[in-house]
Amino acid sequence: MKVVTSEEIKKLDELAINSGISEEILMENAGSAVFYFLKSKFGLLRKFLIFAGSGNNGGDAFTVARLLSSHNAEVTLFTVSDTTKLKGSALKNFELLKNYPVEVLEFTSINRVLLLAIKEADVIIDGIFGTGLNRPINGKIEELIVEINNSGKPVVAIDIPSGVSANTGEVLGVAIKANYTITMGLPKRGFFAYPGCDYVGKIIVNHITYPPEITHSKDISVEIKIIEPYTARPTDAHKGSLGKALFIAGSSHYTGAPYFNALSFLKGGGGISYLATTEYVSKIVSERSPEIVQIPLKENKNGAISSEDIGKIIEFSKNVDVVAIGSGLSIDEDTEQLVLNVIQNVQKPLIIDGDAITIISKYKEILKKRTFDTVLTPHIGEFSRLTGLPVNEIKKDKFSALFKAMKEIQHLIVLKGEYSLIGLNGNIYINTSGNPLLATAGSGDVLVGTIASSIARKGNTLEGTILGTYIHGLSGDLLANEFKEGVTALDILQNIPNAIRYYWEHYKELEGAFYERL
């Protein structure tokens, strides 16, 4: 499913209208989508309170009011903007309300009539501002939104919660905190960026009869892509046929990262997991997980992998399907030489994580010269070092930051966050699984191994990265059914097989759609 900006959805509306679908039809379809959701979710024996602005979002709200009233629901509607500014289909739908028993009032201030209406309402519908809002909300409308948010009543937003930027997720002064957002045409980028993602609630998409060539437009470069699971193990499967990975990770200070890397590859469906690390770390990991094949390496004075074994690592990499480097590696002259040599000489799909990202940030020309598939998995701080963009600038608009990074770095980037963004060749894929329980030490190391296993099993680096990222987040979602706190990287790792099973059974339901928290 494609994901759009406010400018893109405006263009899609114009394309739909030019194809013969009038604005009136689009507005009727939008209003019908909200009406049928309200009927299904809450029933019609409710008191519905609607707030409508002066744009097409207000026109949708007027349509909802008419449809509810025509089915004998009790409806009160407050106009929030000057109704003399209404035009086109919005004006027509406002005028039609004269024929229905809808109580239409003008919002002028926070007064007794308004507060009583909010108190008596069963459901509140937000149609104040749409995707075109680009200025902070203040004054009496700001006060109104605060009252709605404090009401404790279920709130349904039409297209987008008023006050949320459709492009970045920024809250423009104040915003409606919706329980449900019925979005029209396609979901908006701001739904998948903080803080906007905390305001949309459950997202329901309605295409309002856009032709498929519009909703699948190749001109839209952001999408949610659900990947088909890798094939089941054949009867004659053996460990070598299920993928082999080499993890170059760990140091005396970080003994957990290499363990999580290598074991999550096996938990994710890989066949053989090799760990190249110092002798000290190798002993610790082998005691915890004898399934991991150890490649003990010399250790330097800082407890990191010595550069003396670079040749051994490069030679061994020829025997595997995917290589990962950087988790818990530490940073010194030896590891710097190790990382640069691996990036230059490993001729297999390569995942670059953690300290290796910090190192390569100083030598991006070497990264640019690499011709084999490469995946970088930075958190926002590492992404800042990689791109030179300030963290605050990245947070303001992650999509623009990733688009900018892709122009310089011609490799696959997984920008980890509340919704991880996967970028390659000018396209961004939004990962919709995961929750804050994943914010724990070692979680990113599990992600590396899970991506590696999916790459090995799928035989495609982009698809494997999208799939592995989703499985990792899904493991956290399943754990969220049982726990509110206390989830560790080990829990996430051990739950990967459950996530794979669930995905295998339900991925067709997830394809092109959103799912509620499991």
**What residue numbers does the annotated binding site for K(+) cover?**
57, 126, 162
d(CA 47, CA 38): 11
Length of the chain counted residue by residue = 518
Which residues are part of a known binding site for AMP? 416-420, 444
Burial class (CB in 10 A: 0-12, 13-18, 19+), 86: buried
Chain position carrying tokens 């996430």: 492
Q: Which SS3 state, helix, strand or coil, does residue 352 take?
A: strand
Q: If you ran DSSP here, which 8-state letter would residue 166 be given?
A: T
Asked whether 430 and 224 are in contact (CB, 8 A), the reply is yes
In the chain, helix, strand, coil percent, each to 5? Answer: 45, 15, 35
Element housing 77 (H / E): strand 74-79
- Sheet with 272-278: list strands edge to edge: 222-223, 427-430, 421-424, 412-415, 374-376, 350-352, 322-325, 244-248, 272-278, 293-297
Query: What one-character-per-residue DSSP string does 256-291 give?
Result: HHHHHHHHHHHHTT-SEEEEEEEHHHHHHHHHH-TT
Query: For residue 378, is the peptide bond before it cis, meaning its omega torsion is within 30 degrees of 0?
Result: no
Q: How far apart are CA 128 and CA 47, in angstroms?
A: 19
How does DSSP assign 428-470, residue by residue? EEE-----GGG-STTHHHHHHHHHHHHHHHHS-HHHHHHHHHH
CA dist 448 and 265 (Å) reads 8
Contacts made by residues 229-237, CB under 8 angstroms, sequence distance 24+: 229/467, 229/500, 229/503, 229/504, 229/507, 230/269, 230/454, 230/457, 230/458, 230/467, 231/457
394, 401 Cβ separation under 8 angstroms: yes
Nearest CA to 327 out of 242, 443, 457 is that of 443
Among residues 98, 151, 106, 89, the alpha carbon closest in space to that of 124 is found at 151
Count CB neighbours of 262 within 10 A: 32
Q: What distance in Å separates the CA atoms of residue 483 and residue 500, rounded to the nearest whole number?
A: 19
Going by the annotation, the residues of the binding site for (6S)-NADPHX are: 56-60, 130-136, 159, 257, 328, 379, 445
Annotated binding-site positions:
56-60, 126, 130-136, 159, 162, 257, 328, 379, 416-420, 444-445
CA separation for the pair 216, 184 (Å, rounded):
14
